Structure 1
Amino acid sequence: MKPQVFRSKVAWLLGWAWMLFAAWNVWDLTAHGRLPSALIAGAVLGVITALVFVMALRPAVVAEEGGVRVRNVFRNAYIPWNGVDDVSVTNAIMIASGDTTVRCWAPQATARERVRAAGRAAKAARSANKAERAAAEAVGARTHADWVADQLTEMSRSRRESSSGETGVTWSPSALAAVAAALALVVAAFALS
């Protein structure tokens, strides 16, 4: 079974747009830049790109066959389906497993998104159309994060038998490497300028 990935689509698209912009600028700096200003610009570009990677592209909730993997900014968490005790939403999705509670960086439910969803539900409830009223009652004032939490809850119930692994939280090597590379660029820029 293919893993199902839940993330902020806007952050993901903006993150990849930044990556294209950064790649074009790296090419321009190497082709036309002059030291040390090109190195300083490259260091600034590297720091921003590392931040975009860890804050926009990395965060996701991945529903796998044996459990749910949460990729946050610097940490990875894995919870097998039979270890999921509760999935709730405040401004973020919270997955409880025994003494461990994992807060998911993405997708999040902002106050603005909650207000918009409540407005849509109220508007549809006032509608004369029975189909729109039924849809408003079914969906209510739900956000994308609420929908993802419901999906995870359902998966944890239906996939308990196929659970594998143990609950664990670890540092992300890719996020740490991206930050280390950006810091190395900054050190090199200061050393050579």
Structure 2
Amino acid sequence: MKQIYRSKTAFVLGWVWLAFVAFNVWDLTARYNGKPSLVAGAVLGALTAVVYLVALRPATVVTEEGLEGRNPLRSTFVPWASVNDVVVGHTINVSYGAEQMLRLWTPMSTARERARAQRRAAPKQQRGRFKTEPTLSKAEQAAAEAFAGKTHADWVGEQITERAESARRRDVEAPPAHASWAIDSFAVLAAAIALVVVAVVI
């Protein structure tokens, strides 16, 4: 089963930006007035390329066969048995093969998110004789314990580690990891550059 992990905030804001751009493109087309419209379109195109690269494309994809890290300009696939170690800091860093490193762009762990996770892990002090906290169901308690003191990045890092250890226990033969340039990213960049050239030349 394929699971895709992203920064939800960045992903949502990216789609909000695309909606904003779509409205402005319609407006620029309906009220076309030559050079100023072309320049505005080129600026929107350049900004949209940046938003796509840093907000919409990055993803961590977990499949049965291995881990795929989609970064702005490259995609790297690492079979589970090739994963050597997983270290979670600000980003998730996966070492594999012969001292190779895959730095996943998402999910990231900010200082604020880590502080919130530590507050969740701290024991809650009960004041007075009456409980002010709602009673959680067993499933909610289990979820709270699983995430106590952990950020989203920590949790995803654990999933990657568990999959890799399971593959090593089963002694699965690891096919070679491979990386490729992101054709979609270069297509978006090429379109943005074309818009800028048109705005400058015409």
What's the CA shift for 1:138?
4.8
Aligned 8 A contact 2:67 2:79 in 1: yes
- Structure 1 spans left out of the alignment, 5+ residues: none
Amino acid at match of 2:190: A
User: For residues 4 and 138 of structure 1, do their structure 2 counterparts lie closer, same or farther at Cα, with a shift above 3 Å needed?
Assistant: closer
What's the CA shift for 1:163?
7.0
Aligned 8 A contact 2:147 2:155 in 1: no
What's the CA shift for 1:165?
4.2
- 1:23-52 per-residue CA deviation (whole Å, 9 max, x = no partner) reads 111111111121111110000000010111
Partners of 1:11 and 1:164 lie apart in 2 by: 33
Aligned 8 A contact 1:80 1:167 in 2: yes
1:79 is matched with which residue? 78
1:179 is matched with which residue? 189
Q: What is the TM-score of this pair, normalised by structure 2?
A: 0.85
- 2:156 corresponds to 1:158: no
- Structure 2 spans left out of the alignment, 5+ residues: none
Q: Helix, strand or coil: the match of 1:17?
A: helix
Q: What is the TM-score of this pair, normalised by structure 1?
A: 0.88
Select 1:147's aligned residue among 155, 158, 161: 155
What's the CA shift for 1:136?
6.6
Q: Percent identity?
A: 47
- 1:43-62 per-residue CA deviation (whole Å, 9 max, x = no partner) reads 00000101110100000000
User: For residues 17 and 164 of structure 1, do their structure 2 counterparts lie closer, same or farther at Cα, with a shift above 3 Å needed?
Assistant: farther
Q: CA RMSD in A?
A: 2.3
What's the CA shift for 1:126?
2.9
Q: Helix, strand or coil: the match of 2:176?
A: coil
2:48 is matched with which residue? 49
User: For residues 110 and 126 of structure 1, do their structure 2 counterparts lie closer, same or farther at Cα, with a shift above 3 Å needed?
Assistant: same
